[in-house]
Amino acid sequence: MNRPIPSRTVAPFPTTRLRRTRSSAALRDLVRENSLGVNDLIWPVFVVEGDDVEQEVASMPGVTRKSIDRLVEAAHEAADLGIPAICLFPYTDPALKSEACEEAWNPDNLSNRAIRAIKQAVPDIAIMTDIALDPYNANGHDGIVQDGEILNDETNVALVRMALAQAEAGADILGPSDMMDGRIGAIRSAIEGADHRNLTIMSYTAKYASAYYGPFRDAVGASGALKGDKKTYQMDPANTDEAMRLVERDLMEGADMIMVKPGLPYLDICRRVKTEFGVPTFAYQVSGEYAMQEAAAANGWLDGDKVMAESLMAFKRAGCDGILTYYAPRMAKMLSEA
């Protein structure tokens, strides 16, 4: 529902000079409408097998895949900077990928071992997980594929098993990113039944079939495996009302927080979610957004730090309560220095 813009009466110039409150840093600070703090940041990180391993992701300058020991060090760094949460994404050995995706709910898979290691070493940082089958799927899809169709209900069974394994490993926030119908209700029922009553679900509710995900698929090793596209389950970029229907459904099924993905191209969706539902609303500044800004900064076309800060403030202005961003440590350092 589009709400009417309230009428405003502003006294004419020179009675009103809107530049008055911009005339000094102190006045600008006093009247600033939105603020960005370290508590607004969630850091997405990539984990890979091995010891003392750190691999560059070519399409995401400055981003690396880390082995669990290196990831524990990164979690310490995040906690020291005041970042409240990290989000784990695994780079799965291709030999472990299958059409049934069984590795997704293996209690000792890479993600679950990483959860346990971080929880033991840095117990106060919140760990968010990804619930989708694409890192484990021989077909590269978020769901189980049969005769070219991505199966909804059969995928939900697998996602529930995956969620329970992550819950047992010690996850704090489950992040279903698959976009299957009914998966939030199925996961909520399962974790309630397993006595994980306080486990939080941040649903990727409005996840669009976007061209901005390419570098992420490189980072988790899903690019080469993907057969076809994801348009039958991820949202059409042209739609907004559909996103509101999805938000309402996921909240009714037990989601605690709502995710919009990608971020900057969908700020209108962030604003509608916050305005119409008033629930904790998050956005993911995805790999393509990050890569574009970094490429422009590397060429000297933009000031990288200033563009980073401006882009993150845009999420707050749109109504987001937090942002998943690869810039989290860099932005946290800037905030502490300021």
Task: Give the residue numbers marked as catalytic.
Answer: 207, 261
Question: What is the Cα–Cα distance from 63 to 70, expressed in whole angstroms?
Answer: 13
CA distance 100 to 103: 9
Contact indicator for 155, 181 with CB cutoff of 8 Å: no
> Would you say 224 and 172 are in contact if contact means Cβ atoms under 8 Å apart?
no
> Pick from 315, 255, 321, 243: which is nearest to 285 by CA?
315
Distance separating alpha carbons of residues 195 and 186, to the nearest angstrom? 15
Helix axes 267-277, 304-317, angle to 10 degrees: 30
Q: How far is CA 11 from CA 48, 55, 162, 187, in A?
A: 61, 59, 60, 55
